Amino acid sequence: MVPNMTLFRISEAAALLQVSDDTVRRWADAGRLTLTTDVGGRLAVEGAELARVMQESAAEGDPREVAPVVARSARNRLPGIVTRVLKDTVMAQVEMQVGPHRVVSLMSREAADELGLAPGVLAVASVKSTNVVIEIPDHR
């Protein structure tokens, strides 16, 4: 285990991957996902490992049909895993995997440093924009 690496319990990893706990365990048994143990001896997934699997899953595409959303109160708060952080002397580009979606944010390097953003860190992308494109998918 890498010191100070964010660890996610199986149930937390499953929620972020949008699969069941059993699927996470099956993926581990099949070698798709590597498990470790936390300080309490429970099975866990390192954040960087979870980010890798989330990126692979997104690249494969979501096999589920687009389901209608009946109600949601999240108000543009998108929990996910940081997958990449590029920093220069002033700015940082932070990439996150939010379910099957890649979200990119530009922020000051100082902000990224203060937040401790690095691959594998759990974060929430909060979106506020006056330009949001809304599309209606074909749901025949």
- CATH number, domain containing residue 102: 2.40.50.100
Q: Computed from CA positions of residues 52, 55, 59, 63, in that sequence, does the dihedral angle turn out positive or negative?
A: positive
Predicted structure pTM score: 0.60
93 in a domain, yes or no? Answer: yes
- Tell which wins on pLDDT, 127 or 20: 20
Same domain, 16 and 48: yes
Same domain, 119 and 83: yes
Residue 11 near residue 126, CB atoms below 8 Å: no
Same domain, 18 and 45: yes
Give the total number of structural domains in the chain.
2
Same domain, 44 and 89: no
139 in a domain, yes or no? Answer: no
Same domain, 55 and 18: yes
State the average pLDDT over residues 41-45: 93
17 in a domain, yes or no? Answer: yes
Domain boundary among 17, 33, 60: 60
108 in a domain, yes or no? Answer: yes
At residue 115, does pLDDT exceed 60?
A: yes
114 in a domain, yes or no? Answer: yes
At residue 66, does pLDDT exceed 70?
A: no
Name the band, by pLDDT with cuts 50, 70 and 90, for residue 32: very high
11 in a domain, yes or no? Answer: yes
d(CA 107, CA 33) in angstroms, rounded, equals 31
Same domain, 11 and 54: yes
138 in a domain, yes or no? Answer: no
What is the rounded (10 degree) CA torsion for 81, 43, 62, 135?
-40
140 in a domain, yes or no? Answer: no
Which domain does 24 fall in, by range?
Answer: 7-60
